[in-house]
């Protein structure tokens, strides 16, 4: 197979997993979830579990946005290192954010088990290594900050990393015992299928075109002409929120990834490890559940989808060179190459909460390199808010912080 396009590996690998209708008729519900990716599916899952009549809509096909392009490296490590985040927002918020991401990995595993997922959720270690010799001192500070916060971490010297993983061009790193990977595209469809049996309504090719925000309810008009009257809206629209909200709060970044041909004998050695480094932008590595190697990175400022995708061939070659630098003993034959877009915030944290311009609504925007774990935390936060409870992380994830 030789596929080089803007179609992500997971989308091609899985094909058409399910089809959903558009919504032609008026409806009422307690909660309307806008966005049918991993975030929206998790929010809908929790809302159904909490007993709310819930509708989920997406203007595209389900899971065809960022959830089909994500490399799904599930880590508690936020793009801003813990020791730097402590300096930015204080120890309480920084440690709470990291611990929430750590919990989220286990919570996602519990959901995968509950719905009997076949999306390949697998717990893994995570190695964060120094790309340059000058990075070692900062990385050791990060190691001490995580150790102090109670995370299960170990410092590995360069020789130890080479011996265990045959990973070259490194000067030491932090080995964490909390990480995972999954096929997010498949998991979205599995979560929705599970909850459809419990009453969740799912509609794709159904776009929100207008909202009348009331004092207690909202009235949503769709591109189909139908109207949904709901008590709450939860916007799970990812980087597209940048065009909805007036103030600038996120920078959009293009990232690139390639996947190798199947190589079971080689990939098995790296099956239980996620690898990333201190480069800026950083390189990340993992295996897939069908015995391929994956490498991603080469991030740059997002301009538009066309220009982003025109760079796929060039970025593929750079990623191949990076793979050869770190794992020179492995012959990487590229089988898939694609690009995706994600959001980068000033502190590496998501935006989850209310916004003054959107009444009776919440945003769950899991920006950054670990958006999926932020989405699990967002699921917990929305559940609390709908019940009138407070959540510890509200202050640090809110708009205008």
Domain shared by 240 and 294, yes or no: no
Residue that terminates a domain, selected from 325, 344, 363: 344
pLDDT digits (tens, 9 = 90+) for 342-394: 899 999 999 999 999 999 999 999 988 789 999 999 999 999 999 999 999 99
388 torsion bin: left (phi>0), alpha (psi -120 to 50), beta (else): left
Domain shared by 51 and 191, yes or no: yes
CATH number at residue 376: 3.50.50.60
pLDDT digits (tens, 9 = 90+) for 43-98: 999 999 999 999 999 999 999 988 988 988 999 999 999 999 999 999 999 999 99
Is 320 a member of any domain? yes
Q: Give the CA distances from residue 335 to residues 24, 105, 307, 320, in Å, rounded to whole numbers and listed in that order.
A: 40, 29, 22, 12
Q: Kindly report the pTM of this predicted structure.
A: 0.95
Domain shared by 231 and 264, yes or no: no
Domain shared by 194 and 59, yes or no: yes
User: What pLDDT score does 347 carry?
Assistant: 96
Measure the CA–CA gap between 99 and 94, rounded to whole angstroms: 9
Contacts of 217 (CB under 8 A, 6+ apart): 229, 230, 231, 360
User: What pLDDT score does 11 carry?
Assistant: 87
Residue that terminates a domain, selected from 344, 368, 387: 344
User: What pLDDT score does 362 carry?
Assistant: 98
Residue that terminates a domain, selected from 306, 321, 344: 344
For residue 378, the enclosing domain spans 22-69+185-248+350-397
Domain shared by 210 and 334, yes or no: no
Domain shared by 288 and 317, yes or no: yes
Is 197 a member of any domain? yes
Q: Do 216 and 143 form a contact (C-beta atoms < 8 A)?
A: no
Measure the CA–CA gap between 335 and 166, rounded to whole angstroms: 23
User: What pLDDT score does 7 carry?
Assistant: 75
User: What pLDDT score does 223 carry?
Assistant: 97
Is 97 a member of any domain? no
How many domains does the chain contain in total? 2
User: What pLDDT score does 169 carry?
Assistant: 95
User: What pLDDT score does 5 carry?
Assistant: 46
Measure the CA–CA gap between 69 and 299, rounded to whole angstroms: 14
Is 379 a member of any domain? yes
Structure tokens at 140: 């050791």
User: What pLDDT score does 134 carry?
Assistant: 97
Is 306 a member of any domain? yes
What average pLDDT does the chain have?
95
Q: What is the pLDDT along the chain (401 residues), one digit of tens a residue?
A: 233 346 788 888 888 899 999 999 999 999 999 999 999 999 999 999 999 999 999 999 999 988 988 988 999 999 999 999 999 999 999 999 999 999 999 999 999 999 999 999 999 999 999 999 999 999 999 999 999 999 999 999 999 999 999 999 999 999 999 999 999 999 999 999 999 999 999 999 999 999 999 999 999 999 999 999 999 999 999 988 999 999 999 999 999 999 999 999 888 899 999 999 999 999 999 999 899 999 999 999 987 888 888 999 999 999 999 999 999 999 999 999 999 888 999 999 999 999 999 999 999 999 887 899 999 999 999 999 999 999 999 999 999 99
Is 5 a member of any domain? no
User: What pLDDT score does 3 carry?
Assistant: 31
User: What pLDDT score does 132 carry?
Assistant: 97
């Amino acid at each position: 197979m030789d596929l080089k396009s803007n179609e992500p590996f997971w989308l091609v690998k899985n094909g058409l997993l399910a089809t959903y209708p558009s919504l032609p008729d008026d409806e009422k519900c307690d909660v309307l979830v806008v966005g049918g990716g991993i975030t929206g599916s998790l929010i809908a899952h929790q809302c159904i579990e909490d007993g709310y009549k819930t509708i989920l809509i997406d203007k595209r096909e389900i899971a065809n946005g960022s959830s089909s392009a994500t490399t799904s490296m599930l880590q508690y490590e936020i793009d801003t290192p813990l020791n730097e985040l402590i300096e930015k927002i204080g120890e309480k918020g920084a440690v709470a954010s990291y611990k929430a991401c750590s919990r989220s990995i286990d919570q996602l595993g519990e959901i995968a088990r509950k719905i009997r997922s076949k999306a390949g959720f697998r717990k893994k270690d995570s190695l964060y290594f120094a790309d340059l010799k000058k990075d070692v001192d900062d990385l050791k500070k990060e190691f001490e900050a995580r150790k102090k916060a109670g995370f299960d971490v170990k410092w590995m010297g360069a020789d130890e990393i080479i011996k265990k993983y045959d990973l070259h061009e490194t000067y030491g790193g932090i080995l964490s015992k909390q990480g995972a990977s999954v096929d997010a595209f498949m998991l979205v469809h599995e979560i929705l299928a599970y909850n459809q049996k419990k009453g969740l309504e799912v509609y794709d090719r159904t776009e929100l075109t207008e909202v009348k925000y009331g004092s207690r309810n909202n009235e949503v008009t769709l591109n189909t002409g139908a109207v949904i009257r709901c008590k709450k809206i939860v916007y799970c629209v990812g980087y597209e929120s940048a065009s909805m909200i007036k103030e600038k709060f996120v920078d959009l970044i293009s990232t690139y990834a390639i996947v190798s041909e199947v190589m079971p004998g080689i990939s098995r050695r790296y099956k239980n490890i996620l690898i990333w480094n201190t480069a800026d932008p950083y390189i990340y590595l993992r295996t897939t559940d069908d015995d391929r190697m994956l490498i991603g990175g080469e991030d740059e400022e997002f301009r538009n989808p066309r220009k982003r995708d025109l760079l796929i061939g060039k970025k593929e070659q750079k990623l191949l060179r990076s793979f050869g630098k770190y794992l020179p003993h492995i012959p990487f034959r590229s089988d898939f190459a694609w690009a995706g877009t994600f959001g980068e915030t000033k502190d590496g944290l998501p935006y989850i909460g209310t916004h003054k311009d959107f009444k009776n609504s919440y945003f769950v925007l899991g920006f950054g390199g670990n958006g999926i774990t932020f989405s699990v935390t967002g699921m917990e936060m929305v559940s609390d808010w709908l019940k009138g409870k407070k959540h510890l992380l509200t202050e640090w994830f809110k708009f205008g912080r």
